[in-house]
């Protein structure tokens, strides 16, 4: 029952809306309804054959003769004033007067006064051009159209926004890769049919000095055309960050299309020489060929933080292009109040023993073993006291007696809690138990030659 | 002395009274403070006769701490230390001045002032209250460059600080550059001299005199590759013995537009051993990015200490990573590493230690909207000394261009191989950065760690922590760096 009621309500509502829509009637003069009243077109559209007459009839004269409010209801229709809302150059007077109006304004076989607006296809058929409107060569637009900047004010921005784009504009490479530039430089005025200087200047920061753009007239309506402009294909190549410097030096004018100096300084710590020929700034907000500072692919490696040393050492000037020295010093000379989210991830304090043992990265590259590791361990109570007894390393029974392997594998970790005297208590030739600490790779002669004082620490004299 | 002072004053007067054109400066002030509290350990002892047998069958103190007696009359154990609270506040000032009347002359300094506002001063000692990271005058011309003062020499061998001078000559057209430097050396990875008390926390051997440092670098660069060589030597100011003498080579090359190689090696001339070396490649193919690397790491100790004669062995590893952007908003990544140590030639019948390990991670980043990003990662590693398993996630949100909010959370298990306990850690953090304008940034953060230790005695105390941090970064500039640019293109018709 409920469903039936809902259905009834829906049907009634739909029919009511449909009735309202139907009663609004056409906006234009309904020629078909008046088919029996008018024997010829020029009785109302005298301007089609007489250049001095009006193309559209006057409402108070042409309509009011019947629609006087007595026999027929009054109508409020009024003819368009001024030129049509179009940039079409068509002129009735320039066409042969011998032709019939229906040749252009009605479909073949139509009844009398069953008319419509002329279509471009009608023009092409008559002029022997077989192609569809937008498939005509771009260079022929100006044959029938005048530049947008010369179009009457009746042509609104909303109408311009509905201009169809020709197929050529969808061809790969037409956009930011320069295809449209070649067409513009060809010298014809076809681009101006839909575009004006304002449109080009949206992207071309150097538009004012480009002949093909400065030749266009200004017209704000051209901004109604939307363009989804992507960066050139070259910018999407994986080696662009590395290669763009050479490209800029070779042809900075190409860069100047979209970029000013702030584009370069978004990343470069110093202004590159090639960039000095770019404009310093675009006064309009949000321009300058905005560059979002994104790291190159190598920086997005999961292990980049711990692995950037080798490439940075081999080519430091590459880093200096984007990084100031203070960027490096923030990590390589850290302060103790940096907070929890610096180079190391949150929670690193508790996980650092494992990573230090495992040598994932070299702690000593940024931290002084004594001033940093030992000092903190001492304050935490994790230090030895010159007399090595078991206790701390309590998961290994007799660890002291078998610590050699662990020590040679992770000596830096040992040093973070132990001082030399802890080890020399046993590993000294003179004051210890004489356990030999020297292992694989030890070269006594070489060390003695370089620093004989080192040997004296354990041997009293150079051995 | 008085004559020297007079000369300096005259030079200063001459500099600051002469006409100076287009003088510019840039000062970056970064002030940060962090409040934290934690409880450390304290070693204690007890007579063996006073211990009791604990739940594990071994000796324990009467209040439940496992004691280690080693068969002696005195046993040791660790009990919780006093709670330590610190509020280190550090201000870093990075200043540059140029346009001093001599083309190419500039002055640079980066200094740090630190104090601890807490009651225990766990970080700052008198030697670290004022640190000069760098402070030098630089004269740069097209074919040569001179630098004098405290400076850092960077390269394959690391970051070495010297108080001295350095000079470069270069041929930009040929891509060649060479430099030599010399002066008094600074301690490794520190802004302190080797004689600083802050470098001797355990009160062991320390030199009374600074070391001399000399070195040289050479580099050749082309568009397809780069090669750099470096030599560094330091000698003791006390007895003239060599404390550091190392050389290094670094290279990078492009095999194609998408494939590159880099690598290098260091050689320790004092011990005659190869230090660290690596050879790796990286490739980008469309949405994919991959790396592979072989490497060796061998710790090299300065000969201020005796550590080098304990013969630390080399660590070898092969690692790789792969990342793919499945969708403009979704990126996946994975890393893996297998490593092993050289034979140590030690006889350890009582203690066996593994000498291989591995680690891996997988992660994903989802840019849900242009302003909202979620990142998650799972890590596992097992190796020498310890293992760790963790999962963590981070959310960053920029609700407005000047705001950056972040929240992060994670979970970690970290047993230590040499230590009889397993730590489980959960953490949660949040922070906010507000960029007032291009020159002023304020930040706040709060992080909480909750740790649980699986240990069968009273020594199962944890390092729970609460950290509060705040920072302010303020860039002061004269805008002079914008003035020397040549005029831009005329913008007619606009």
Amino acid B151: pLDDT: 96
d(Cα B128, Cα B80) in Å, to the nearest integer?
A: 28
Residues of chain A with pLDDT under 50: 1, 7-26
Residue-level pLDDT, tens digit, chain B, 494 residues: 444 545 555 445 444 444 444 467 888 899 999 888 777 788 888 998 999 988 777 888 999 888 888 777 888 888 888 888 888 899 999 888 887 888 888 899 999 998 888 877 667 666 788 899 999 999 988 899 999 999 999 999 989 999 999 999 999 888 899 999 999 999 988 899 999 888 888 878 888 899 999 999 999 988 788 999 999 999 999 889 999 999 999 999 988 878 889 999 999 999 999 999 999 998 988 888 899 999 999 999 999 889 999 999 999 999 999 999 888 889 999 999 999 999 999 877 777 788 899 999 999 999 999 899 999 999 998 887 677 889 999 999 999 888 999 999 999 888 776 776 778 889 999 999 998 987 899 999 998 888 888 777 887 777 788 888 899 988 887 654 443 333 333 333 33
Query: Are residues A302 and B335, on separate chains, in Cβ contact within 8 Å?
Result: yes
Closest CA to B30 of B122, B113, B141, B133: B113
Q: Does any CB of chain A come closer than 8 Å to the CB of residue B351? A: yes
Amino acid B483: pLDDT: 36
Amino acid B470: pLDDT: 92
Of B200, B357, B416, the CB nearest to A370: B200
Query: Are residues B84 and A379, on separate chains, in Cβ contact within 8 Å?
Result: yes
Residue B287: partners with Cβ closer than 8 Å, 6 or more residues away? B324, B325, B326
CA geometry: angle A441, A446, A451, nearest 5 deg: 120
What is the pairing mode between strands B74-86 and B88-98?
unpaired
Query: Are residues B416 and A353, on separate chains, in Cβ contact within 8 Å?
Result: yes
Percentage of chain A beyond pLDDT 90 is 4
Query: Are residues A454 and B241, on separate chains, in Cβ contact within 8 Å?
Result: yes
Interface of A with B in 215-244 (CB under 8 A): 237-239, 242-243
Distance set, CA B318 to CA A107, A206, A321, B407 (Å): 78, 51, 30, 34
Query: Are residues A340 and B467, on separate chains, in Cβ contact within 8 Å?
Result: yes
Q: Does any CB of chain B come closer than 8 Å to the CB of residue A387? A: no
Q: Which residues of B touch A211 (CB under 8 A)?
A: none
Residue A373, SS3?
A: helix
- SS (HEC) of chain B: CHHHHHHHHHHHHHHHHCCCCCCEEEEEEEEEEEEEEEEEEEEEEEEHHHCEECCCCCEECCCCCECECCCCCEEEEEEEEEEEEECEEEEEEEEEEECCCCCCEEEEEEEEEEEECCCCCCCCCHHHCEEEEEEEEEEECCCEEEEEEEEEEEECCEEEEEEEEEEEEEECCCCEEEEEEEEEECCCCCCCCCCCHHHCCCCCCCCCCCCEEEEEEEEEECCCEEEEEEEEEEECCCCCCEEEEEEEEEEEEECCCCEEEEEEEEEECCCCEEEEEEEEEEEEECCEEEEEEEEEECCCCCCCCCHHHHCCCCEEEEEEEEEEEEECCEEEEEEEEEEEECCCCCCCCCCCCCCEEEEEEEEEEEEEECCEEEEEEEEEEECCCEEEEEEEEEEEECCCCCEEEEEEEEEEEEEECCCCCEEEEEEEEEEEEEEEECCEEEEEEEEEEEEEEECCCCCCCCCCEEEEEEEEEEEEECCHHHCCCCCCCCCCCC
Following CA atoms A29, A34, A39, A44 in sequence, which dihedral angle do they give, to the nearest 10 degrees? -30
Distance set, CA A66 to CA A31, A61, A62 (Å): 15, 9, 8
Amino acid B162: pLDDT: 96
End-to-end CA distance of chain B: 65
Q: Which residues of A touch B431 (CB under 8 A)?
A: 339, 341
The answer to whether the beta carbons of residues B69 and B58 sit under 8 Å apart is no
Interface of A with B in 329-348 (CB under 8 A): 329, 332-333, 335-341, 345-347
CA geometry: angle B6, B10, B13, nearest 5 deg: 140
What single DSSP character describes residue A456? H
Amino acid A317: pLDDT: 78
Q: Does any CB of chain A come closer than 8 Å to the CB of residue B269? A: yes
Amino acid B374: pLDDT: 95
Q: Does any CB of chain B come closer than 8 Å to the CB of residue A427? A: yes
Q: How many CB pairs under 8 A join A and B?
A: 448
Distance between B18 CA and the closest CA of chain A, angstroms: 28
Interface of B with A in 3-22 (CB under 8 A): none
Amino acid A463: pLDDT: 53
Distance between B102 CA and the closest CA of chain A, angstroms: 19
């Amino acid at each position: 029952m409920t469903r039936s009621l809902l259905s009834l309500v829906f049907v009634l509502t739909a029919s009511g809306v449909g009735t309202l829509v139907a009663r609004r009637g056409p906006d234009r003069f309904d020629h078909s309804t008046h088919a029996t009243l008018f024997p010829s077109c020029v009785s109302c559209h005298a301007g089609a054959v007489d250049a001095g007459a009006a193309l559209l009839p006057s409402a108070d004269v042409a309509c009011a003769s019947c629609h006087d409010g007595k026999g027929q209801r009054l109508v409020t229709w009024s003819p368009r004033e001024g030129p049509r809302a179009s940039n079409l150059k068509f002129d009735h007077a320039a066409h042969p007067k011998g032709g019939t109006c229906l040749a252009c304004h009605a479909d073949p076989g139509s009844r009398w006064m069953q008319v419509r607006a002329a279509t471009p296809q009608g023009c092409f058929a008559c002029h022997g051009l077989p192609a569809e409107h937008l498939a005509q060569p771009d260079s022929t637009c100006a044959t029938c159209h005048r530049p947008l900047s010369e179009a009457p004010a009746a042509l609104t921005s909303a109408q311009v926004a509905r201009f169809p784009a020709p197929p050529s504009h969808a061809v790969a490479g037409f956009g930011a890769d320069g295809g449209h530039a070649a067409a513009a430089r060809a010298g014809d005025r076809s681009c101006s049919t839909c575009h004006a200087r304002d449109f080009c200047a949206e992207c071309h920061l150097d538009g004012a000095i480009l002949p093909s753009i400065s030749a266009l007239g200004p017209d704000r309506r051209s901004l109604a055309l939307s363009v989804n402009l992507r960066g050139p294909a070259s910018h999407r190549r994986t080696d662009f960050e590395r290669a763009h410097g050479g490209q800029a030096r070779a042809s900075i004018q190409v860069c100047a299309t979209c970029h000013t100096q702030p584009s370069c300084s978004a990343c470069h710590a110093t202004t590159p020489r090639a960039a000095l020929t770019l404009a310093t700034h675009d006064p309009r907000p949000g321009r300058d060929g905005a560059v979002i500072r994104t790291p190159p692919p190598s920086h997005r490696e999961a292990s980049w933080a711990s692995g950037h040393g080798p490439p940075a050492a081999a080519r430091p000037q590459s880093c200096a292009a984007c990084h100031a020295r203070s960027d490096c010093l923030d990590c390589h000379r850290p302060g103790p109040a940096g907070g929890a989210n610096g180079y190391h991830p949150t929670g690193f304090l508790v996980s650092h023993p494992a990573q230090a043992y495992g040598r994932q990265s070299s702690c000593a590259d940024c931290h002084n073993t004594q001033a940093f590791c030992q000092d903190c361990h001492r304050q935490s109570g994790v230090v030895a006291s010159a007399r090595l007894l078991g206790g701390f390393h309590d998961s290994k029974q007799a660890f002291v007696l078998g610590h050699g392997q662990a020590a040679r594998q992770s000596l830096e970790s040992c040093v973070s809690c132990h001082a030399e005297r802890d080890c020399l208590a046993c590993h000294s030739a003179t004051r210890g138990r004489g356990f030999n600490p020297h292992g694989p790779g030890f070269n006594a002669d070489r060390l003695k030659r370089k620093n004989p004082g080192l040997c004296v620490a354990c041997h009293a004299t150079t051995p | 002395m008085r004559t020297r002072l007079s000369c300096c004053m005259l030079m200063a007067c001459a500099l600051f009274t002469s006409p100076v054109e287009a003088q510019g400066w840039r000062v970056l002030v970064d002030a940060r403070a962090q409040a934290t509290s934690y409880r450390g350990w304290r070693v204690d002892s007890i007579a063996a006769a006073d211990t009791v047998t604990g739940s594990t069958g071994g000796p324990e103190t009467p209040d439940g701490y496992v004691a280690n007696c080693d068969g002696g009359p005195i046993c040791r154990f660790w009990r919780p230390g006093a709670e330590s609270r610190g509020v280190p506040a550090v201000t870093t000032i990075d200043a540059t001045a140029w346009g001093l009347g001599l083309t190419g002359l500039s002055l640079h300094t980066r200094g740090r002032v630190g104090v601890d506002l807490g009651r225990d001063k766990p970080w700052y000692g008198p030697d670290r209250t004022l640190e000069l990271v760098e402070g030098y005058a630089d004269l740069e011309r097209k074919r040569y460059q001179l630098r004098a003062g405290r400076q850092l020499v960077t390269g394959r061998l690391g970051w070495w600080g010297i108080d001295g001078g350095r000079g470069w000559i270069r041929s930009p057209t040929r891509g060649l550059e060479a430099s030599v430097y010399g002066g008094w050396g600074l301690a490794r990875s520190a802004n302190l001299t080797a004689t600083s008390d802050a470098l001797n926390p355990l009160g062991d051997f320390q030199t009374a005199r600074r070391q001399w440092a000399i070195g040289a670098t050479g580099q050749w660069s082309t568009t397809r590759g780069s090669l750099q060589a470096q030599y560094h030597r330091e000698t003791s100011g006390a007895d003239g013995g060599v404390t550091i003498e190392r050389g290094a080579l670094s290279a990078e090359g492009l095999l194609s537009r998408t494939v590159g190689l880099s690598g290098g090696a260091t050689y320790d001339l004092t011990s005659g051993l190869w230090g660290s070396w690596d050879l790796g490649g990286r490739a980008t193919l469309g949405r994919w990015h991959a790396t592979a690397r072989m490497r060796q790491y061998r710790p090299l100790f300065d000969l201020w200490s005796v550590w080098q004669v304990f013969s630390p062995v080399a660590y070898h590893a092969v690692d790789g990573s792969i990342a793919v952007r499945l969708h403009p908003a979704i990126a996946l990544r994975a890393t893996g590493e297998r490593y092993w140590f050289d034979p140590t030639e030690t006889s350890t019948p009582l203690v066996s230690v593994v000498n291989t390990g591995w680690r891996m991670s997988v992660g994903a980043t989802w840019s849900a909207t242009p302003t909202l990003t979620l990142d998650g990662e799972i890590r596992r590693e097992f190796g020498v000394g310890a293992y760790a398993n963790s999962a963590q996630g981070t959310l960053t949100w920029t609700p407005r261009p000047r705001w950056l909010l972040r929240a992060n959370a994670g979970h970690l298990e970290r047993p230590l191989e040499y230590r009889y306990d397993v730590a489980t850690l959960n953490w949660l953090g949040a922070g906010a950065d507000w960029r007032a304008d291009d020159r002023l940034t304020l930040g706040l953060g709060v992080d909480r760690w909750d740790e649980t230790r699986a240990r069968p005695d009273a020594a199962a105390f944890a390092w729970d922590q609460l950290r509060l941090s705040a920072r302010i970064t303020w860039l002061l500039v004269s805008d002079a760096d914008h003035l020397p640019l040549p005029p831009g293109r005329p913008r007619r018709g606009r």
